[in-house]
Structure 1
Amino acid sequence: MKAKKNKRLLTVLATLGVGIITFITIFPLISLVVSSFRPSSDLMRDGISLSIDFSAMNLDNYTYIFTQASEYWDWYGNSLIISAITIVLSLFFSSMVGYALAVYDFKGRNFFFILVLLIMMVPFEILMLPLYQLMIDVQLIDSYFGAVLPMIVAPVAVFFFRQFAIGLPLQLMDAARIDGSTEYGIFFKIMLPLMAPSLAAMAILQGLGSWNNFLWPLLVLRSNDMFTLPIGLATLLTPYGNNYDVLIAGSVLTIIPIIILFIFFQKFFIAGLTTGGVKG
């Protein structure tokens, strides 16, 4: 009886703790959504808050975005294109590299894996200037591929796919070879479908990272019509005036693609993270 009471108490405390953490996590989001319906004059005076005056709340900020803020939708489209390209190419190349490091026994395999781990430890700020010079040399400044190219093979994604691929049934590879399948056929037709949970989990993480990426696009994108959302929204805050009409409501709209991405892949997300994290 005492054990049951202790277990019930621990369950209540755990639920309460999770509830408090959840509230702290979503509190800024709730404040942002509420503030997006407030007049820009109130935002200039009081800032972002949860104070709700229903008589003053309206849809003017969103109306302004959909009718007059054409540059916002240019930024939105750029972010969608760059994020989509990053997700597709990163999953394709990173999964191939991670798969090769996991299932093939070749000379230098451990060296390359250690190299991947070392690169993971290097801050991006150290690699930023050499990469920027490379983009200048190959004339990819102010282009989509200039913003995407350094992110195509992410060390974190390679490590994640390698850990997941270690747990794949290698007997299927032998059976496929007996049937005359090529190594590329084995990967794309047999192994890659088995890696679906890891692909979904990494699609969310890579998509989130690309969507919120600020520093690298800020370096390589020059023209206003090539800006991504983080850069474009940042330009609205200047010493000469702050366009809160677009900034607050626009920030709320930036959340939608990430929510859609997570909803689409959520059933694979936890399985991909847990399986990939314990293999090896």
Structure 2
Amino acid sequence: MKKKNTVLKWFANIAFVIISLIALFPIISLFISSFMPSSVLMRNGITFNINVEQLSFDNYTYILTQSADYWTWYGNSLIISLITIVLSLIFSSMVGYALAMYDFKGSNLFFVLVLFILMVPFEILMLPLFQMMIDTQLINTYFAVVLPMVVAPVAVFFFRQYALGLPKELMDAARIDGATEYGIFFRIMLPLMGPSLAAIAILQGLASWNNFLWPLLVLRSNDMFTLPIGLATLLTPYGNNYDVLIAGSVMTIIPIILLFIFFQRYFVSGLTVGGVKG
């Protein structure tokens, strides 16, 4: 029986390695292509047929030394993503916590509305949101991009499901000690929601970093563009800078990798525990 289990474990490991390589294939091919000149990419496309003599660091040298716009877009994406993550963690966790821990009139109705909004495609909401940004004169600002993502329905749902597993006795004990409701949340309950915070930080950060359509609608000037929009401007009818585009795309992966590395300890536990509570 032990020998059989060992063989099955080896087959499982081999299968997972193969699946991982298949999943990493686009990233590996993109990384290799980032060292190729534009003429080779236009002629051969993205391929593993590599001529070592054609590989160089010219694309990255150009981005690091001569492409000022790229770093402006990079900075805009970092600022927007950081603001989105921080505000989303604060407000979405508060809403989800309130729906889970307080029995007030209409709480079930609010939760049903959250689920309803979760099922509505964002494309349907874009027009009223865009009109709202115009009315509040927030067009071409960071907050025009951030505000629609501050209280994300998926984050509220996730935090509610996670908070349902927290013991309410802690709240009663804190009230006896004279703690306020905000004090109970920020000093006692929020630290217990650490795994869920890490999971939502990764998911919201990834969604904000890759967001293209909504920033394209509300941002106007080149110095306010995010990375997805800025990289898209490199493809024009008058010339396609595929070499710079691919090298720039490779560098956009770095913040997401760092975000996952910092929060990976809590990511899996946050998803699994939050998914079974309630």
TM-score band w.r.t. shorter chain: over 0.9
TM-score, normalization by structure 2: 0.97
What is aligned with 2:127?
129
Which residue of 240, 243, 246 corresponds with 2:244? 246
Distance (Å, rounded) in 1 between the aligned partners of 2:246 and 2:233:
13
Distance (Å, rounded) in 2 between the aligned partners of 1:8 and 1:208:
37
Three-state SS of the structure 1 residue aligned to 2:50 is coil
Which residue of 2, 24, 27 corresponds with 1:26? 24
What is aligned with 1:12?
10
What is aligned with 2:198?
200
Three-state SS of the structure 2 residue aligned to 1:254 is helix
Which residue of 217, 220, 224 corresponds with 2:222? 224
Q: Does 1:43 align with 2:66?
A: no
Q: Is the 8 A contact 1:69 1:246 kept in 2?
A: no
Q: Is the 8 A contact 1:32 1:248 kept in 2?
A: yes
Q: Does 1:178 align with 2:181?
A: no
What is aligned with 2:136?
138
Q: Does 1:70 align with 2:73?
A: no
What is aligned with 1:268?
266
Three-state SS of the structure 1 residue aligned to 2:158 is helix
Distance (Å, rounded) in 2 between the aligned partners of 1:144 and 1:150:
11
What is aligned with 1:97?
95
Q: Does 1:148 align with 2:146?
A: yes
| 1:6 CA displacement | 4.7
Which stretch of the first structure deviates more once superposed, 237-246 or 108-117? 237-246
Three-state SS of the structure 2 residue aligned to 1:141 is coil
| 1:44 CA displacement | 1.7
Q: Is the 8 A contact 2:36 2:243 kept in 1?
A: no
| 1:56 CA displacement | 1.6
Three-state SS of the structure 1 residue aligned to 2:52 is coil
Q: Is the 8 A contact 1:64 1:245 kept in 2?
A: no
Fraction of identical pairs, as percent: 75
| 1:54 CA displacement | 1.6
| 1:20 CA displacement | 2.1
Structure 2: which 5+ residue stretches go unaligned?
none
Structure 1: which 5+ residue stretches go unaligned?
none
| 1:15 CA displacement | 2.2
Q: State the Cα deviation string for residues 218-266 of structure 1 (Å, max 9, x = none).
A: 1001111111000111111112111123201100000000001000111
TM-score, normalization by structure 1: 0.97
Amino acid at match of 2:229: I
Equivalenced residues, count: 278
Distance (Å, rounded) in 1 between the aligned partners of 2:7 and 2:251:
41
| 1:5 CA displacement | 5.2
| 1:40 CA displacement | 1.9
| 1:113 CA displacement | 0.6
Amino acid at match of 1:136: I
Distance (Å, rounded) in 1 between the aligned partners of 2:74 and 2:27:
19
Three-state SS of the structure 1 residue aligned to 2:98 is helix
Query: Root-mean-square deviation (CA), in Å?
Result: 1.1
| 1:45 CA displacement | 1.3
Distance (Å, rounded) in 1 between the aligned partners of 2:251 and 2:184:
41
Q: Is the 8 A contact 2:92 2:150 kept in 1?
A: yes
Amino acid at match of 2:24: I
